[in-house]
Structure 1
Amino acid sequence: MIKSMTGFSRKEAIIGNKKITIEMKTVNHRFLEVVFKMPKELMVFEDRLKKILQHYIKRGRIDIIITIEANHLSQRLNIDWDLADQYIQLLKELKERFQLAGNVEIKDFLLIPDLISQDVEINDLEDKEEEFFELFAETCRALFDMRQLEGTVLSNDFLSRLNHIEKVLQKVEIKAPLVVKEYREKLLIRVNEWLNGVVEIDEARLLNEVAFFADKANIDEEITRLKSHIEQFRLNLTIEEPVGRKLDFLVQEMNREVNTIGSKANDLELSQYVIELKSELEKIREQVQNVE
């Protein structure tokens, strides 16, 4: 079954004395693009995390956010004393240069970015790496399940629209031969009007003109190819591997056949059917962009 490229998952667990939260969000993309946002101490695991992810996700952009929260026993606050000294020195210079009044208070220091930081020690993860990787894999599986569920919804929508396209195509098949017959009748009426019964109609030339029109307006090949593309599309919906690009190609081919039918359609009713076909294909094309 096809899978959507849109999904979200979030898992958290206590590993050692740390609370680890992993969030994954995916959107459509031509290829597989993985973006990590996590503590620099975890960067050493990036290659292995990507390998785990690639077992579940083949295509799309994946934003992964990993956060670590320590309990109160392992939290440690740091002050950047050099930054504080510079701040005080600059304030003194400002006061002297511009003869300013006022004193520096604690609240002023709290407004200084990066003056106070919190360390999160992750050394105790070294002997619990497998628990961390299992949490990551569990998050991947949840993301996979959501993408697969949405893929089922997309598949059902595609099948419904393909069925509608086939019904319209049946109407096209019924109408197409009648267009030639109607053209012959209209041509005969016009010729009679022109000649006004003075000159006898050349039946052979009339038949040649009708035959030329029939050949030019023939859409049998386009209908045959369109039916084949529809069957290929249905078949690809049942394949387990990523088929988003194949489906996108098939929609392009179906659009090409419908456009050709439209260019040959010398009939108002056929033109209306073509518009209906193109409308359904456009809706499919928009959704196909989100298939893995």
Structure 2
Amino acid sequence: MNSMTGFGRSTRIADGLQCTIEIKSVNSRFLDLNIRSPKQVNSVEHSIRKCIQKSLHRGKVDVFVTLQDIDDREKQFLINSSLKHQIQDLLVLEGFYKSAQDVPLAAVMSISNEWIQIKDDEIQEDSLCSLITETTMEALNALVHMRTSEGVQIQQDLLERLSHMTAIIDDINAHKEDAVLAYKENLRKKMLEYVDNLDIAINEDRLLQEVAIMADKTDITEEIVRFRSHVVQLTNTLKKDEPIGRKLDFIIQEMNREVNTIGSKAMDISLTDHVVQLKCELEKVREQVQNIE
């Protein structure tokens, strides 16, 4: 089980070129991959995407690629002869020199040096692709390690909260019968008082039957059984070594539905307090689940 939050960084050097790649990720519903890199990396950007998509399934992922020369590399000199001749002719035309041959190089450079361009030899695409890929894999491994470590911590926290919720639901189950009996007795007394105020006769058996029917609607046995089932599902899912975030989110929704039903049926104040505790724990679990891949 992995978190969706992490950071990884790597630097490698090849052919006098230093490549640094940083990858950071946060939670997101889908895999949202963004790459920021120099133009010379455009041709091999697909390699970065391919590496990341093999390892990550969800999360907003930002990749930053930096290239820097660190050694003396072969240079290329590009001479714009046309511009150089134009500058020479200009100096002759203005009367500074008698002919273009008399114009010294320093005079031409004083006007403009744009007629000379110096650039590094381009690194071969295969070498660049290899450098980018290896650097990406190292940064990605660091990111995955961080996401896995955080995932272990989240898993432990969730298991502890599930244990706490199990204890709460067990306590609710232990007191549900008393709550139903108390509700029946309270309902019977109120109905009798209402009938007495109306000064009419009532069949005792029919009264008890109606009380039983209404009290039966407050029974929460089914909801407790389903909640326990969801706890087992959630626990088993947490132990799987695969992307489980979406499944966990669905299970949490089902658990929350059962708790709401219990809360609407429970008439006893002690059960209501337990329902509030369950809702608080479920909200904390839901927040944690949002960070799981």
TM-score, length-normalised on structure 1?
0.78
CA contact (8 A) 1:12 1:22 kept: yes
- The question of whether the paired residues in 1 share the 8 Å contact of 2:13 and 2:131 is answered with no
User: Could you tell me how far apart the structure 1 residues matched to 2:159 and 2:14 are?
Assistant: 45
Counterpart of 1:276, as a letter, is Q
Q: Which residue of 2 aligns with 1:223?
A: 224
Q: For residue 174 of structure 2, what is the aligned residue in structure 1? A: 174
* 1:104-155 residue CA offsets vs partner (Å, 9 max, x unmatched): xxxxxxxxxxxxxx97765156435324312211111111111011011111
User: In structure 2, how many angstroms separate the alpha carbons of the residues matched to 1:238 and 1:122?
Assistant: 49
Rounded to whole Å, the distance in 2 between the matches of 1:122 and 1:64 is: 23
Write the distance in 1 (CA, Å) between the matches of 2:74 and 2:263.
70
User: Is 1:267 the counterpart of 2:232 in the alignment?
Assistant: no
C-alpha distance in 1 between matches for 2:217 and 2:240: 39
Superposition deviation, residue 173 in structure 1: 0.6
**Corresponding residue number in structure 1 for 2:24:** 25
Report 1:131-280 matches (<5 A).
131-190=131-190, 195=196, 202-280=203-281
Uncovered stretches (5+) of structure 2, i.e. residues with no partner: 76-117
- Unaligned runs of 5+ residues in structure 1 are 77-117
Moved more, 177-186 or 30-39: 177-186
Q: Check if 1:34 corresponds to 2:33.
A: yes
The amino acid of 2:42's aligned partner reads: M
In the TM superposition, residue 224 of structure 1 has moved relative to its aligned partner by: 1.1
Q: Is the 8 A contact 2:12 2:131 kept in 1?
A: no
Q: Matches of 1:144 and 1:134 in 2, distance apart?
A: 15
Contact kept in structure 1, 2:154 and 2:288, CA below 8 Å? yes
1:59–1:188 Cα change, 3 Å? closer
CA distance in 1, matches of 2:210, 2:241: 52
Partner AA of 1:262 in structure 2 = G
Structure 2 length-normalised TM: 0.78
Q: 1:48 aligned to 2:47? A: yes
Matched-pair identity in %: 41
The answer to whether the 8 A contact 1:16-1:125 is kept is no
Give the CA deviation at 1:240: 1.5
- Whole-Å separation in 2 of the counterparts to 1:74 and 1:23: 25
Measure, in 2, the Cα distance between the counterparts of 1:148 and 1:31: 18
Amino acid at match of 1:175: H
Instruction: Determine the C-alpha separation between the residues in 2 that align with 1:177 and 1:122.
Output: 81
Q: Does the 8 Å contact 1:15/1:125 carry over to 2?
A: no
Q: Give me the whole-angstrom Cα distance separating, in 1, the residues matched to 2:52 and 2:177.
A: 55
One-letter code of the match for 1:224?
Answer: V
Deviation at 1:188, TM superposition (A): 4.4
Q: Does structure 1 conserve the Cα–Cα contact (< 8 Å) formed by 2:12 and 2:135?
A: yes
* TM-aligned CA deviation for residue 214 of structure 1: 2.5
Q: Deviation of residue 184 (structure 1)?
A: 2.8
The question of whether the paired residues in 2 share the 8 Å contact of 1:180 and 1:213 is answered with no
Tell me by how many angstroms 1:191 deviates.
5.4
Q: Does the Cα contact within 8 Å between 2:184 and 2:212 map onto a contact in 1?
A: no
The Cα shift of 1:270 comes to 1.2
Change (3 A) 1:68 1:215: same
Q: How far apart in 2 are the matches of 1:171 and 1:134?
A: 55
Aligned length, in residue pairs? 252
